[in-house]
Structure 1
């Protein structure tokens, strides 16, 4: 039985839907706005989180007239949901349609599990494990290793996922390498017109590949100019932004050995679970990715990591690691194995 077949026929009764906005400053110099979605039915509550990045798209969600009350299987609900336009305002980016669909589908999965008096770990017959995580951060403008050093002063055992920029010179990369704590370098070259996107840079890719030989290289652009360095480092090249399902995995320039899994990019539970099965069959190593979740979504991506890729360099740290300044007193890696309730980490 596939992962999705395990959950597809769960019964689902929906009586109402409501929204709760959240807002918080982040370490990436922007104000994060998300919305928790609550589905109610059969005396139970299911929750998901819309991680669409545009604040106006988020605020427009309040205008959505949700008409999917009634009785479904989870698979039937997903099919009906896919027919709706979930953006009364926007979206400002087409990929945000998947983000919002995932918010409703994750809430529906949570509700269906609770109505069946079970949880995701039990239903899939998987044992939750402790979760290793890394701290994801940018290095400022101009970039320096100061933020990494500040975190290591607090916790010398932390690992890092760092966003590279063209200003990363030999001196900075050597300084980062000396810490021996860099697990992933994100090249941000698969983000299209998004503000965080970076252009292909063969020189930067080579510099990082040479100086950080154990680091995963995420979302590089595979071009005529970058192909040589990426082919030579293919065993540690990973993709994130373009990964939206099995077809997108198969469209990579070579079979990936690593992938960053962000559930919202997949849109549906079926697409996510099919991709997890596909990667397990082929031995693709996985790690979870975060999107500055402010509500239940953070625990849900941590739960998926606990069940499917607990030892990866997971970008699912407790949300305090996303605060504007490093601070002491946070949970160190690894996170203890969770208690699972529906589709939630407790």
Structure 2
């Protein structure tokens, strides 16, 4: 699929930044300008210091006439962090690379007058999405119920915690809306508390839910068909014998490895669903578009950003997210 995009002409005349703010979070929008068009990419680093440093980078060697593949290859030759070590070290470097690559893809497609779906020969379909959050230090299902009252078709991807009791999990089962339980067991973090009763109750009481990133100590006692991996998946080679994967473009960090991962999963019958990383603006629509093209019927963690506000608000899109014919570029609308 990358061959369909590699030769797209790309003219970059200038670039600038815009800070986006939503709730307690900020992101930085990179805007590439060329030929009367504007390509967009979004930096999802969590701290204002990261965004300040990024927006201070005013002399990046981005201007020129390129093909898309030439531009992507050039990204590897310069410092994308302005001499500042990213907060999370090498783990974060793909996040920044994706900002540049997604903006370049958006601009190149606009200059060519085609949408991403047209360029890849794929048609988007309505996207199922889930709302992702934790249940609090003293777990409560109230947040799930409040959202279901407004949006009964929306499912949930919930962050498990040792404080989850069998009673809480029974309440969650009663909603019929839990699609994924994320144990966050693949980030190299020390396990605090006893997760064993939580795993046991999730397997028994939420039999339809995926179990994402389980801790290694519990993998052998879990149903293999329910295990999904997120944090370890950065390239097609990482999939191995995994049956279900969460595809996060920011974590993968590049168009080429992303398309290789999609192709590998489709060829080998690996189930995919999409994930975001706290995007507030265009990047959330970009991951929604990718979900619409590659795995629309999965429990995609790509809910519109207002779903992540502490309290639910009315008037948001419902699931599945309707997708009309996307406009030219790497964008949903």
Once residues 244 and 51 of structure 1 are traced to their aligned partners in structure 2, the CA distance between those partners, rounded to angstroms, is: 17
Q: Name 1:119's counterpart in structure 2.
A: 115
Once residues 131 and 34 of structure 2 are traced to their aligned partners in structure 1, the CA distance between those partners, rounded to angstroms, is: 37
TM-score, length of structure 2 as denominator length: 0.94
Q: Secondary structure, in 3 states, of the residue corresponding to 2:277?
A: coil
Which of 198, 206, 213 is the aligned partner of 1:212? 206
Deviations 1:47-101 (A, max 9, x none): 1111122331122101223112112221111111022221123301122110010
Once residues 147 and 43 of structure 1 are traced to their aligned partners in structure 2, the CA distance between those partners, rounded to angstroms, is: 45
Asked whether 1:11 is paired with 2:9, we answer yes
Which of 38, 46, 71 is the aligned partner of 1:77? 71
Contact 1:161 1:183 in 2 (8 A): yes
Contact 1:188 1:198 in 2 (8 A): no
Contact 1:163 1:185 in 2 (8 A): yes
Q: Name 2:332's counterpart in structure 1.
A: 345
Deviations 1:138-181 (A, max 9, x none): 11121111111111222333211111001011111111111111
Q: Name 2:48's counterpart in structure 1.
A: 55
Contact 1:14 1:39 in 2 (8 A): yes
Give unmatched runs, 5+ long, in structure 1: 26-30
Once residues 170 and 332 of structure 1 are traced to their aligned partners in structure 2, the CA distance between those partners, rounded to angstroms, is: 30
Q: Name 2:284's counterpart in structure 1.
A: 298
Q: Secondary structure, in 3 states, of the residue corresponding to 2:239?
A: helix
Q: Secondary structure, in 3 states, of the residue corresponding to 2:216?
A: coil
Once residues 154 and 185 of structure 1 are traced to their aligned partners in structure 2, the CA distance between those partners, rounded to angstroms, is: 22
Change (3 A) 1:68 1:200: farther
Once residues 27 and 165 of structure 2 are traced to their aligned partners in structure 1, the CA distance between those partners, rounded to angstroms, is: 35
Q: Name 1:259's counterpart in structure 2.
A: 245
* Runs of 4+ with >3 A deviation: 197-203
Q: Name 2:85's counterpart in structure 1.
A: 90
Once residues 55 and 189 of structure 2 are traced to their aligned partners in structure 1, the CA distance between those partners, rounded to angstroms, is: 27
Q: Secondary structure, in 3 states, of the residue corresponding to 1:96?
A: helix
Contact 1:258 1:285 in 2 (8 A): yes
Contact 1:187 1:198 in 2 (8 A): no
Q: Name 2:30's counterpart in structure 1.
A: 37
Contact 2:11 2:66 in 1 (8 A): yes
Contact 1:240 1:259 in 2 (8 A): yes
Deviations 1:177-196 (A, max 9, x none): 111110000101122359xx
Give unmatched runs, 5+ long, in structure 2: none
Q: Secondary structure, in 3 states, of the residue corresponding to 2:28?
A: strand
Once residues 171 and 309 of structure 1 are traced to their aligned partners in structure 2, the CA distance between those partners, rounded to angstroms, is: 33
Aligned length: 329
TM-score, length of structure 1 as denominator length: 0.91
Change (3 A) 1:199 1:46: farther
Once residues 95 and 200 of structure 1 are traced to their aligned partners in structure 2, the CA distance between those partners, rounded to angstroms, is: 28
Q: Secondary structure, in 3 states, of the residue corresponding to 2:87?
A: coil
Q: Secondary structure, in 3 states, of the residue corresponding to 1:95?
A: helix
Q: Name 1:322's counterpart in structure 2.
A: 308
Once residues 175 and 335 of structure 1 are traced to their aligned partners in structure 2, the CA distance between those partners, rounded to angstroms, is: 27
